[in-house]
Amino acid sequence: MKKCSSCGREFQEQTTFCPFDGKKLDAPEPADVDKFLGTVLDGKYCVESKIGQGGMGNVYKAKHVHMDTMVAVKILHPHLVSDQTTVERFRREARAAITVNHPNAIHVMDFGVTGDKTVYLVMEFLEGISLRKLLEIERCLTPEKALNIMKQVCAAVDTAHSKGIIHRDLKPDNIVIVAHGTPSELVKVLDFSIAKLKAASEGPVNLTQQGMVVGTPQYMSPEQAEGQELDTRSDLYSLGVIMYEMLTGDLPFKATTPMALILKHIHALPRPLRELKENISPALEAVVLRTLAKKREDRPQSATILAEQLEEAMSQENVSIRPETSPVIVRPTGEAMMGGAKGIKPAQPIGAYPAGATAPLSLPNEVKMQSSSSMDYSGDLSLDPRDASRAANKVSSGGLAGRPQTNPINGSRPNAVKSIPPQVISTPIAGSEENTTSKPNNTSRLLVIMAGAFFAIILGLIIYFFFFNEPAKVGNTTGNDNKDFKPWLDKMQMVSVPTGTYMMGREVEKGVPIDSTPAHLVKVPAFLIGRYEVTNKQYQEYLKATNRSGPEGWTGSEFVAGQEEFAVSGISWDEANAYCQWLSTQSGLKFRLLTEAEWEYAARGTDNRLYPWGTDWDSTKTVSGESNNASIVAVTSALLTNDRSPYGIIGMCGNVFEWTASPVTLYPNSAAKIEPCNECRIIRGGSYKSKKEVLQNTNRFWQPNDFRDNRVGFRLGADLP
């Protein structure tokens, strides 16, 4: 990583200048030397190499010097064992973990504290692949493979629960598959009772801290997120999240900050699995969704029961010929269920997105850019192509032979085909009583159908004219629910940008940032854009309406006196996006952040200029580090008058950087070495401190969605009404 000597921020090695103050970045710092490598820990374990790291500590491969056996040694971070009381507590927890003697639980062999207060835990050395790595490779697993892994995990977890041990941090990183892909494949669960040490050593729960105090945000139960006393059913919720991820390749809840994620675990409903993967059976989906119930009493009550319910759901899916009537399972209370897994309630209807969530924005087809969140093989395909190929292979190999297929029209299944002895098959004889009794002729049927259709048409016309043919309203309307949006367009000073095609990005050449290349043709549909950046006064209206406090430098919801027209800054992407959603509910217009393609098109026009005013740099035309401005200015300031794009948009070059809606992606055929990031967003433009190298309209910068800086603000975009 390179570091800026001015602001102290770190950047990737390919970055030359700091995007915030224009300083040239220092060379990468040499990696720190690990003091444990090559040493003999506590006189017993020769540390050979580092094999993992995490929030609890680092894991090393070591050899027992007396027994000549390989082991894994976890050396805990010093802040987790800061006093003797905590060390003694962990000693008891380590002893408890040793009692989890099960083939699917990692074997804990030793625990110790060295003379310099280094606390370590010794475990068996495993050669395998973590479930996390497996999911990164395969994206999602078949139901059969996911069930095989989960059954072994449940066995280990149930044994720990029987000893009074709650894991508290179950996740794919803590599940290892030994001898993966072989007949001797074995699943191992790691880190029993480690999370309890972390919770105890840090005192009061601090949900804003990275890594969390009581678990990992993506996998923690609602009661864990609220800091309640936990029981074994909290681990079951985590297993439900893991099963969801194995089956769909996605998490049930995602957010840009730990706090937002926690709130979703507490309040939001997960998206049904079959909306993500159609090959999942309703019975299997019901088990997973029940395991993700908000109330712990609504979940399976033990890991063993969860494994049984998953297996029952899978067994129903794998029946080759279904009986004409599904079996009815009668429960002791008198309840009855048809075709469901034992003890499972039917899945409840759940919306496609949690409350307050929005569907991802997409770019025009001509852009040929996709964020990591939109690469989902949507459109005419109903399945991921990999699933389609698997299904084709299964059919061609006879795997579905004899199984009743689903009717593509109504989703029903025909009764199972049964062989019938030839002697019981009888064909009616023409003219016999059996062939003529109570069968209307074709003419009678036709007359009945025609009469029914005639009356249906008449009835439909009557209903339409009386109930739905409302006279058109007269007035100054835009066609969206007959609402007049002009006052809102004037208030937010929105400008219409017409549909256009332009060359986005730059050609590869010396001095051009590689992540801004290559140039490629983009067509942008018409849209609305704010003439000015969002101001303190505009943002304050949202804060007061929602009872929120302003960014750093504000007093509650009050900005510094005299700065009402200054561009608001210190706003994260999450906060800017929330402002757009709030404004949309107030106005009825679809306010949003601009896509990256829209922003560059509005700044450059169709003549591919490098700055809003043209191709050549001019320090007098904007507020930047080249003009020695000390701070942000009012969006209507005369200093920004000439920072005007071809469409009359003001301040797209200097003053403050601007968030866009676009996640981090590579341009088509780009040679850049950046990782796509859906939890980060592209930032465009420049600030009052930026140098001219930074201020070109083609430059791209990005930060995590919760990043805040007093040089970053935003500008409104909107769909045309």
Residue 578 CB neighbour total at 10 angstroms: 16
Virtual CA dihedral for 139, 145, 150, 151, nearest 10 degrees? 180
Q: Report the length, in residues, of the chain.
A: 721
Q: What is the DSSP string of 31-56?
A: PPPPTTTT-EETTTEEEEEEEEE-SS
> At a CB cut-off of 8 Å and minimum separation 6, what does 472 contact?
none
Q: What SS3 class is residue 340?
A: coil
Q: What's the token pair of residue 364?
A: 């025009």
**Sheet strands side by side (includes 701-704):** 701-704, 680-684, 657-659, 712-714
Angle at 626 between CA 625 and CA 630, to 5 degrees: 40
Q: What is the CA radius of gyration of the chain?
A: 32
Query: CB–CB of 585/616 below 8 Å?
Result: no
Q: What's 676's DSSP letter?
A: -
Evaluate the CA torsion angle 511, 515, 517, 521 in order and state its sign: negative
Q: In DSSP terms, which residues pair with 45 in a beta bridge?
A: 41, 64
Q: What's the token pair of residue 332?
A: 């002791």
Clarify whether 169 is annotated catalytic: yes
Residue with tokens 């998953």: 310
What's the CA gap between 176 and 192, in Å, rounded? 13
Query: CB–CB of 558/550 below 8 Å?
Result: yes
Q: How far apart are the first and last CA of the chain?
A: 45
Query: CB–CB of 621/645 below 8 Å?
Result: no
CA atoms lying within 13 Å on the CB side of residue 670: 23
Q: 13 to each of 86, 507, 518, 597, how far by Cα in Å?
A: 41, 21, 20, 26
Q: In DSSP terms, which residues pair with 122 in a beta bridge?
A: 73, 110
Which helix (H) or strand (E) covers residue 58, if one does? strand 57-64
SS3 string, 242-279, reads HHHHHHHCCCCCCCCCHHHHHHHHHHCCCCCHHHCCCC
Catalytic pick among 21, 158, 169, 643: 169
Q: 572 to each of 535, 551, 576, 661, how far by Cα in Å?
A: 15, 9, 6, 12
> At a CB cut-off of 8 Å and minimum separation 6, what does 347 contact?
272, 282, 285, 286, 289, 290
Q: What's the token pair of residue 591?
A: 């306010």
Query: CB–CB of 597/589 below 8 Å?
Result: no
Phi, psi for residue 124 in degrees, rounded to 5 = -65, 145
- Of 295, 181, 189, the residue nearest 239 (C-alpha): 189
Beta strands at 500-504 and 520-524: parallel, antiparallel or unpaired: antiparallel
**Sheet strands side by side (includes 119-124):** 40-41, 45-53, 57-64, 70-76, 119-124, 108-113
The backbone region for 698, taken as left when phi is positive above 0, alpha when psi lies in -120 to 50, beta otherwise, is alpha
Catalytic annotation, residues: 169
